[in-house]
């Protein structure tokens, strides 16, 4: 029955178990994302957090990732990939449990800074999880099935995200503050724990992709052997063909993340949305993401991952642009419907677009540099986004963010 639900009847039997665990992993992660993660910035805003403090919530994790991504990749190269990813996920997701008792321990500002501190510590195991998961995905999913698996994962994620977002919004509207948020954080922690359980069962499959032979080592002189730092940092990747992909993905992620610290403030201070409104809006977002994801495999097969990534980012510009002219809650719902469909295409394509440019024999180091670009984008956007909002006002900042996304999409299409 599950094989029919997840459209696995045409998938070779030896791949089905891995694929199934990938689907359940993301389904439980959707519960985490639709509950605790979805309402974290909203909770911080209701505690009185400034746009800078909300930016710090994203920046704390990015700082750690930037500092340890390269050493983490070197460590991962020597590890069993699935075991390293599993244990990294366990230690990372234990941090969500620490969110639950904060209202019993601290006042409003104390909770905000505690959340920032916990997020900082959670980033240490998040780094190998972020670097290694794409490597595990590449090791466990053959190239020809990646669009299929990514699309199905999006469907599973969207479904559970919708359900947990609606449930969380209802809880937050009916249960006294802050107890409602403690319940929502507990739901998120349970989803995180179950997601890790399924990561445990995903196994790399040997020879699932055409073999690629690593380049032959060349003799080195004594002078060359002294360049240990350059070798450890794998600076050769920055001089190779992957350099262009890193620059393009840096711009892509910067344009994607720059509105994030501002969304919660805009929703509360400009649109005056309740938690239930936010829950319904995000559920609608993931409803159209659910629908769009069912078509991802077909669309990617016709146009390719690069084109869908670029045009998808241009489509994502509609979300902040339409949000800027919204005044009523039904406007927010309409914007959410549009945003979900465009993210279904973009979110399902960009990782595979990036993986297409990574040699199979050298994934961890390439993914570490990609992770550096991703977190550089998150870190810079966490500060620049609030600065733009403070300078231009919340509504005008949405217009600026939309234009930036259009330009980022053009960069992917033209230079990606």
Within the chain, how many helices (H) and strands (E) appear? Answer: 20, 0
Mean pLDDT on 354-366: 78
Q: Is the pLDDT score of 212 beyond 60? A: no
| Lowest pLDDT segment from 14-28, 32-46, 159-173, 289-303 | 289-303
Mean pLDDT on 314-323: 91
Phi, psi at 187, each rounded to 5°: -60, -45
Distance CA 378, CA 375 (A): 5
Distance CA 377, CA 381 (A): 6
| Lowest pLDDT segment from 92-96, 209-213, 243-247, 318-322 | 209-213
pLDDT band for position 200 (cuts 50, 70, 90):
very high
Distance CA 57, CA 122 (A): 11
Cα–Cα distances (Å) from 273 to 177, 193, 328, 330, 332, in that order, read 16, 31, 9, 11, 9
pLDDT band for position 223 (cuts 50, 70, 90):
very low
Could you tell me which residues come within 8 angstroms of residue 244 by beta carbon, excluding any fewer than 6 positions away? Answer: 415, 416
Looking at residue 317, its pLDDT comes to: 92
Question: Which two structure tokens, joined as six digits, stand for 353?
Answer: 């677009």
Pick the closest to residue 198 from 381, 33, 4, 18 (CA basis): 18
For the chain, give the percent of residues with pLDDT over 70: 90
Q: Is the pLDDT score of 260 beyond 90? A: no
CA end-to-end span of the chain: 40
pLDDT band for position 366 (cuts 50, 70, 90):
confident
Query: Over the stretch 160-179, which tens digit does the pLDDT of each residue have?
Result: 988 998 899 899 989 999 99
Looking at residue 224, its pLDDT comes to: 46
Mean pLDDT on 378-404: 89
Looking at residue 292, its pLDDT comes to: 82
Query: For the chain, which residues make up each domain, given as ranges?
Result: 13-205+236-415
Class at the top of the CATH hierarchy for domain 13-205+236-415: mainly alpha
- Decide if 31 contacts 187 (C-beta within 8 A): yes
Looking at residue 231, its pLDDT comes to: 55
């Amino acid at each position: 029955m599950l094989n029919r639900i997840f459209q696995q009847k045409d998938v070779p039997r030896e791949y089905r178990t891995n694929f199934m665990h990938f689907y359940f992993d993301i389904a439980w992660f959707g519960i985490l994302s639709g509950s605790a993660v979805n309402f974290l910035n909203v909770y911080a805003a209701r505690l009185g957090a400034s746009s800078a403090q909300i930016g710090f919530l994203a920046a704390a994790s990015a700082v750690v990732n930037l500092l340890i991504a390269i050493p983490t990749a070197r460590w991962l190269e020597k590890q069993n990939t699935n075991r390293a990813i599993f244990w990294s996920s366990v230690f990372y997701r234990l941090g969500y449990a620490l969110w639950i008792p904060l209202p019993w321990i601290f006042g409003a500002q104390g909770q905000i800074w505690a959340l920032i501190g916990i997020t900082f510590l959670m980033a240490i195991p998040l780094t190998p999880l972020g670097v290694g998961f794409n490597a595990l995905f590449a090791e466990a999913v053959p190239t020809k099935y990646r669009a299929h698996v990514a699309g199905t994962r999006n469907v599973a994620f969207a479904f559970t995200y919708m359900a947990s977002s609606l449930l969380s919004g209802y809880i937050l509207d009916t249960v006294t503050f802050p107890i409602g948020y403690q319940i929502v954080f507990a739901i998120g922690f349970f989803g995180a724990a179950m997601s890790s359980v399924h990561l445990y069962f995903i196994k790399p499959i040997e020879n699932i992709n055409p073999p690629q032979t690593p380049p032959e080592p060349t003799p080195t002189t004594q002078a060359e052997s002294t360049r240990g730092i350059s070798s450890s940092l794998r600076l050769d990747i920055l001089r190779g063909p992957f350099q262009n992909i890193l620059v393009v993905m840096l711009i892509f992620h910067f344009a994607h993340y720059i509105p994030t610290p501002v969304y919660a403030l805009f929703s509360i201070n400009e649109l005056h949305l309740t938690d239930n409104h936010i829950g319904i809006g995000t559920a609608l977002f993931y409803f159209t993401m659910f629908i769009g994801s069912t078509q991802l495999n077909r669309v990617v097969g016709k146009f390719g991952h690069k084109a869908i990534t670029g045009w998808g980012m241009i489509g994502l510009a509609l979300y902040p642009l339409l949000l800027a002219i919204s005044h009523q809650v039904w406007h927010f719902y309409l914007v959410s419907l549009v945003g979900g469909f465009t993210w279904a295409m973009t979110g399902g394509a960009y990782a595979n677009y990036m993986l297409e440019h990574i040699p199979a024999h050298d994934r961890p180091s390439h993914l570490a540099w990609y992770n550096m670009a991703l977190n550089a984008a998150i870190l810079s956007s966490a500060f620049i986004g609030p600065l733009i909002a403070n300078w231009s006002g919340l509504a005008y900042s949405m217009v600026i963010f939309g234009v930036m996304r259009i330009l980022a999409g053009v960069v992917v299409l033209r230079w990606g």
